[in-house]
């Protein structure tokens, strides 16, 4: 993508394999691909999409460097002369493939389904993959601990949804409340308790259409800093640029850990202001 050109020629550590990923909440498999550092898309070539997706890098696009060079700081060469012309030509070429004829957008997120294979969800295969990745040191004990934590969180979330959908609650959990805090980047906030957040959800586990996921329960009670407000992002299913009508907040370092299938995408969790309170 055009946003990736700025990183060409620079040095970054490989932080994780992208073998296990997801799209539209469904686990997928991707080969020969890695994530470098915390390199994320800034959306500059995609109508300022604010999703901040972690970038995928094919192994064919990178090369290994000598160990003595790996300890050096990230190196950025200043483009001059013919290099600038080559960079502009590459940008024009890539930008031509960003927007389709029907007005939708194309990016790594929208192409993940065609670039990946379905994940085998059978339990025997699932545990065999976990054992294989653990022996290959692609996952470790902390990852297994997060998997156990996710099982607990999923149980809590599912219990609430079951309760909200029970016949005796047919007239409850139909409309969800809101609260305006007018949060801005840099503000300090505290995630409200699990009980207070669950009380703001409908029978589908959503607040005004935004889903509160089981993985977000682990952040309840934590103090965080606001990264930004999310006002627009590309829908990875149909490529449409979505404008958010209701409040949606991103918090620094509050990302999905992919506990269930060890997904590597590290997407930011989306928060309603009513789920937060100022410190």
> What is the mean pLDDT of the segment spanning 12-16?
94
Q: What is the pLDDT of residues 233-265, one digit of tens each?
A: 999 999 999 999 999 999 999 999 888 888 999
pLDDT at 73 over 60: no
Rounded to 5, what percent of the chain is helix, strand, coil? 30, 20, 50
H/E element, 20: strand 20-23
Tell me if 190 sits within 8 A of 221, measured CB to CB: yes
CA dist 248 and 272 (Å) reads: 5
Cβ atoms of residues 252 and 215 within 8 Å: no
Give pTM, 2 decimals: 0.88
Q: What is the pLDDT, as a whole number, of residue 67?
A: 74
Confidence at residue 81, expressed as pLDDT on a 0 to 100 scale: 53
- The average pLDDT across 91-100 equals 78
Give the pLDDT confidence score for residue 84 in this predicted structure: 57
Answer yes or no: is pLDDT of 205 > 60.
yes
Within 13 A of 92's CA, how many CA atoms are on the CB side? Answer: 6
Distance from C-alpha of 241 to C-alpha of 235, rounded to nearest angstrom:
6
Q: Which of 94-108, 128-142, 217-231 holds the top average pLDDT?
A: 217-231
pLDDT in tens, 35-66: 999 999 999 999 999 999 999 999 999 999 98
pLDDT of residue 71: 59
- Quote the pLDDT of residue 66: 83
Q: What is the DSSP string of 116-154?
A: SEE----HHHHHHHHHHHHHTTSS-HHHHHHHHHHHHHH
Domain of residue 54 covers 1-279
Characterize the bridge pairing of strands 188-191 and 223-229. antiparallel
Whose CA is closest to 36, among 12, 59, 60, 9?
12
Asked if 236 and 225 touch (Cβ cutoff 8 Å), the reply is: no
Tell me the CB-side half-sphere exposure of residue 253, using CA atoms within 13 A.
5
> Number of structural domains, the chain?
1
Mean pLDDT across 81-99: 69
């Amino acid at each position: 993508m055009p946003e990736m050109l700025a990183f060409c020629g620079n040095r970054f550590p490989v932080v994780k394999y992208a073998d296990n990923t997801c799209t539209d909440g469904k686990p997928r498999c991707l080969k020969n691909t890695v994530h470098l550092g915390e390199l994320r898309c800034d959306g500059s070539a995609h109508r300022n999409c604010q999703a901040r997706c972690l970038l995928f890098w094919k192994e064919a696009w990178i090369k290994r460097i000598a160990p003595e060079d790996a300890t050096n700081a990230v190196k950025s060469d200043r483009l001059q002369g013919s290099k600038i012309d080559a960079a502009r030509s590459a940008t024009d070429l890539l930008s031509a493939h960003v927007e389709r004829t029907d007005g939708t957008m194309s990016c790594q997120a929208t192409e993940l389904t065609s670039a990946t294979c379905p994940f085998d969800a059978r339990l025997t295969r699932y545990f065999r993959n976990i054992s294989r990745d653990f022996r290959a040191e692609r996952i470790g004990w902390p990852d297994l601990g997060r998997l156990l934590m996710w099982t607990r969180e999923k149980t809590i979330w599912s219990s609430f949804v079951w309760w909200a959908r029970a016949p005796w609650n047919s007239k409850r959990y139909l409309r969800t409340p809101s609260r305006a805090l007018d949060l801005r980047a840099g503000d300090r906030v505290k995630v409200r308790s699990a009980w207070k957040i669950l009380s703001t959800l409908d029978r589908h586990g959503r607040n005004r259409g935004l889903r509160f996921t089981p993985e977000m329960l682990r952040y309840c009670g934590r103090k965080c800093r606001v990264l930004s407000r999310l006002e627009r992002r590309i829908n990875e299913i149909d490529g449409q640029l979505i404008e958010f009508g209701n409040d949606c907040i991103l918090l620094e370092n509050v990302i999905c850990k992919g506990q269930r299938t060890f997904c590597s995408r590290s997407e930011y969790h989306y928060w309603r202001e009513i789920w937060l309170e100022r410190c």
